[in-house]
Amino acid sequence: MATALVTGGTSGIGAAFARALAARGDDLVLVARDAARLEQVATELRSRYGVTVETLTADLAVRADVDRVAERLTDRDRPVDLLVNNAGFGLRGPLTAEDLSAFEHGFDVMVHAVMVLAAAAARAMTTRGHGAIVNVGSTAGYVTMGGYSALKAFVGVYTESLANELRGTGVTATLLAPGWVRTEFHERADIGTGSIPGFLWLQADDLVAACLRDVAAGKVISIPSKRYKALIFAARHAPRPLVRRASAALSSSRH
């Protein structure tokens, strides 16, 4: 019997991970800020799939809360076999703003918490000789679309480095780099989606199923769908001035 801890497991991609993992019989630890919603999601999953679902109310921008989640990951009596570092949100606004608190908040949740939780999980998992870590980055990490891109680029390089460090331990690290997915993400961040063509939207359940197959295969990078594999290939191989120009055009079309 395996146990998975999913941050941001109450909505969007995280909720899709929770459903898929419960459907295959994994017990869950779900982490998010909204306690009532956590309990509601946990109750649904318990009754539908018959698995054990713990809830941990935590704000991953608060360091003491991150430490509490890390303690749960390193609890020897209740081992966690899979960590999904998924919690996150969209960011917009100029990098030159006087008030950078939104980016700092993004840094705390999408960089600091990811690093602390992955390190805690990796220490516990390597002691047992098995386990898997999924860090949710983004296609945005391969282009230059502001603070969000910069944070997600960190998640990408960090995860590949972690995978190197973990080689031979029985523990894997996988970067999930989704493109646009219909979740609460865009509405929460007040990001316009009107200019995004329909064929670029992904379904959370599909990309989670593909990611879990990639994790089982020990893949370090999971890019959902052929179209995003092609787009990321282009972003990685095109001349950088072209990538910057395309990123700037795309950013301005969405404001």
Ligand X SMILES: NC(=O)c1ccc[n+]([C@@H]2O[C@H](COP(=O)([O-])OP(=O)(O)OC[C@H]3O[C@@H](n4cnc5c(N)ncnc54)[C@H](OP(=O)(O)O)[C@@H]3O)[C@@H](O)[C@H]2O)c1
Binding segment for ligand X (CB under 6 A), chosen from 6-14, 21-29, 157-165, 208-216, is 6-14
- Part in contact with ligand X (CB under 6 A); list of ranges 71-79, 82-90, 95-103, 214-222: 82-90
Q: Which of 142, 148, 158, 228 is catalytic?
A: 148
For ligand X, the binding residue among 22, 29, 83, 87 (CB under 6 A) is: 87
Candidates 21, 42, 118, 181: give the one binding ligand X (CB under 6 A).
Answer: 181
**Least Cβ distance, residue 148 to ligand X (angstroms):** 7
Q: Based on the residue annotation, tell me whether 148 is a catalytic residue of this protein.
A: yes
- 130 vs 187 by CB, closer to ligand X: 187
Shortest Å, Cβ 8 to ligand X:
3
Beta-carbon-side half-sphere exposure of residue 34 (alpha carbons within 13 Å): 11
- What is the distance between the alpha carbons of residues 232 and 10, in angstroms, rounded to a whole number? 28
Is the Cβ of residue 188 or residue 236 nearer to ligand X in the bound state? 188
Task: Answer yes or no: are the C-beta atoms of 116 and 154 closer than 8 Å.
Answer: no
Which part of the chain contacts ligand X (CB under 6 A), choosing from 30-38, 96-104, 158-166, 216-224? 30-38
Please report how close the Cβ of residue 144 comes to ligand X at its closest, in angstroms: 16
Q: Following CA atoms 249, 242, 237, 147 in sequence, which dihedral angle do they give, to the nearest 10 degrees?
A: -50
> Edge-to-edge strand order for the sheet containing 131-136?
53-57, 27-32, 3-7, 82-85, 131-136, 171-176, 221-222
Q: Supply angle C-alpha 131, 160, 21, rounded to 5.
A: 35
The CB-of-16 to ligand X minimum distance in angstroms stands at: 8
Verify binding: residue 10, ligand X, rule CB under 6 A.
yes
**Residue choice 39, 44, 59, 160 for contact with ligand X (CB under 6 A):** 59
Footprint on residues 191-250 left by ligand X (CB under 6 A): none
CB closer to ligand X out of 43 and 127: 43
Q: How far apart are CA 27 and CA 25, in angstroms?
A: 7
Query: Are 236 and 142 contacting, i.e. CB atoms less than 8 angstroms apart?
Result: yes
Residues 112-151 that bind ligand X (CB under 6 A): 136, 138
Measured from the CB atom, the residue of 128 and 231 that comes closer to ligand X is 231
Long-range contacts of 211-218 (CB under 8 A, 24+ apart): 211/134, 211/174, 211/176, 212/20, 212/21, 214/174, 215/82, 215/132, 215/134, 215/172, 215/174, 218/172
* CB closer to ligand X, 7 vs 174: 7
Cβ of residue 72: shortest distance to ligand X, in angstroms? Answer: 14
Question: Which amino acids are annotated catalytic?
Answer: 148
